[in-house]
Structure 1
Amino acid sequence: MKKKEILWILIFALLFGSPFVSWFFLKNSVDTQNYENREVTEMPKISLEEYAQFPQQYETYFNDNIPWRNQLISLNSGLDLFAFRDSSNENVLIGKDGWLFFTGGTNPVEQSTGQRLLSEADLEKIAGQLTLVQRWVQSRGEKFIFFLAPNKETIYREKLPESETVVTDETEAFQLINYLKEHTDISVVWPYEELMEAKADSGMWIYSKLDTHWGNPGAYIGAKALAEELEVEMPELSEVSAELSEISRGDLANMLNVSIPNGDREYQLSGYEVEDGNQGESYMEFHQNSGSSLKLAIRRDSFGARLSKVLQHAFQDVYVAQGETDLIDVDADVFVYELVERSLENPDLGLPYLSVLSNTDENGKAVTLKAECDLNGFYISAFRQPDGTDDWQGVLIGETISQEGTTFAVPDGENGRLQIYMFLDANGEKPVHEMTLEY
Structure 2
Amino acid sequence: MKKGKLIYSVLFFAVCLCPSVGMLIAKPETSSENRQLSEFPTLKTEEGKWNVEWLSQAGDYFQEHFAFRNELVTGNALLHGKLLETSTADGVIQGKNGWLYYKDSLDDYLGQNLLSDRSLYNIAHMLSMTQEALDEKDVKFLFTIAPNKNSLYGENMPYYDSLKITDETNRERLTKVLEQENVSYADLYQAFTDQDEVLYHARDSHWNNKGAALAADVLMTALNKEHDSYTDEPYEVRKDYTGDLDTMLYPLATTADDEVYYNKETTYAVAGKINSNFDPRITTVNPVKEGSLVMYRDSFGNALLPYMADAYANAYFSRGIPYQLSDVDTMNADTVVIERAERFLPEMSQFPPVLTAKEVSLTGEEESTATDAAWDVKMKPQGTVVQVSGRIKEGYLDTDSRIYLRINGTVYEAFPMDIADGDRLDDNGFCLYMPAELALADGNDLEVLITKGDKYLNIYKNIIEEDIIQ
Give me the TM-score of the superposition, normalised by structure 2: 0.69
| Structure 2 match to 1:350 | 353
Give the aligned partner of residue 305 of structure 2.
308
Q: Is residue 386–residue 415 contact of structure 1 (8 Å, CA) maintained in 2?
A: no
Secondary structure at the counterpart of residue 293 of structure 2: strand
Shift of 1:270: 2.4
The alignment status of 1:195 with 2:206, answered yes or no, reads no
- The answer (yes or no) to whether the contact 2:277–2:305 under 8 Å persists in 1 is no
Which of 236, 240, 243 is matched with 1:250 structurally? 243
| d(CA) in 1 for partners of 2:106, 2:237 | 28
Matches within 5 A, 1:10-409: 15=15, 27-28=26-27, 32-46=29-43, 50=50, 54-104=54-104, 108-115=105-112, 117-165=114-162, 169-181=167-179, 183-198=180-195, 200=196, 203=197, 205-232=198-225, 234=227, 237-247=230-240, 249-271=242-264, 279-291=277-289, 293-323=290-320, 324-325=323-324, 327-328=327-328, 329-345=330-346, 346-347=348-349, 348-354=351-357, 371=359, 396=407, 400-401=411-412
Larger radius of gyration: 1
Rounded to whole Å, the distance in 1 between the matches of 2:200 and 2:12 is 49
Structure 2: distance between partners of 1:262 and 1:386: 49
Deviations 1:88-133 (A, max 9, x none): 12332122212111123xxx23314544545432332222111121
CA distance 1:167–1:241, change in 2 (3 Å) = farther
Give the aligned length: 394
Deviation at 1:317, TM superposition (A): 2.4
Give the aligned CA root-mean-square deviation in angstroms: 4.4
Give the whole-Å Cα distance in 1 for the aligned partners of 2:125 and 2:77: 44
Deviations 1:342-382 (A, max 9, x none): 2223254322232xxxxxxxxxxxxxxx53x89999x9x89
Q: Is the 8 A contact 1:278 1:302 kept in 2?
A: no
The 3-state SS of whatever aligns with 1:97 is coil
**More deviation, 35-44/307-316:** 35-44
Q: Deviation digits for residues 133-153 of structure 1, max 9, x if unmatched?
A: 112222322111112221112
- Counterparts of 1:152 and 1:98 in 2: how far apart (Å)? 14
AA aligned to 2:283 is E
CA shift digits 1:280-322 (9 cap, x unpaired): 322222222334x232211112212322221122333222122
Call closer, same or farther: CA 1:419–1:296 in 2, change over 3 Å. Answer: farther
Q: Distance in 2 between matches of 1:14 and 1:162?
A: 40
Q: Which residue of 1 aligns with 2:419?
A: none
In structure 2, relative to structure 1, the CA distance for the partners of 1:56 and 1:308 (3 Å cut) is closer
CA distance in 2, matches of 1:164, 1:262: 26
CA 422–234 in structure 1, closer or farther in 2 if over 3 Å, else same: farther
Whole-Å separation in 2 of the counterparts to 1:194 and 1:10: 62
Amino-acid identity (%) = 24
3-state SS of 2:291 partner? strand
- Secondary structure of 2:61 counterpart: helix
Q: 2:30, 2:297 → 1: CA distance?
A: 27
State the TM-score, normalizing by the size of structure 1: 0.73
Instruction: Say if 1:399 and 1:102 are closer, same or farther in 2 by CA, change over 3 A.
Output: farther
Q: Secondary structure at the residue paired with 1:231? A: coil
List gaps (5 residues or longer) in structure 2.
367-373, 382-388, 390-404, 414-433, 460-465
Q: Is the 8 Å Cα contact of residues 248 and 260 (structure 1) preserved in structure 2?
A: no
Tell me the distance in 2 between the aligned counterparts of 1:311 and 1:374. Answer: 39
Taking the aligned partners of 2:36 and 2:185, their CA distance within structure 1 comes to: 38
Deviation at 1:420, TM superposition (A): 9.3
CA–CA separation in structure 1 for the residues paired with 2:100 and 2:362: 44
Bigger drift between 11-20 and 35-44 goes to 11-20
Q: In the alignment, is the contact (CA less than 8 A) between 2:147 and 2:189 conserved in 1? A: yes
CA deviation vs aligned residue, 1:311-338 (integer Å, no higher than 9, x gap): 1223332221223326141211111111
Distance 2:5 2:219 in 1: 75
Segments of 4+ in structure 1 off by > 6 A?
A: 2-10, 20-23, 272-278, 373-377, 381-387, 408-411, 416-422
CA contact (8 A) 2:19 2:69 kept: no
Which structure 1 residue ranges, 5 or more long, are not aligned? 355-369, 430-435
SS of 2:412's equivalent? Answer: coil
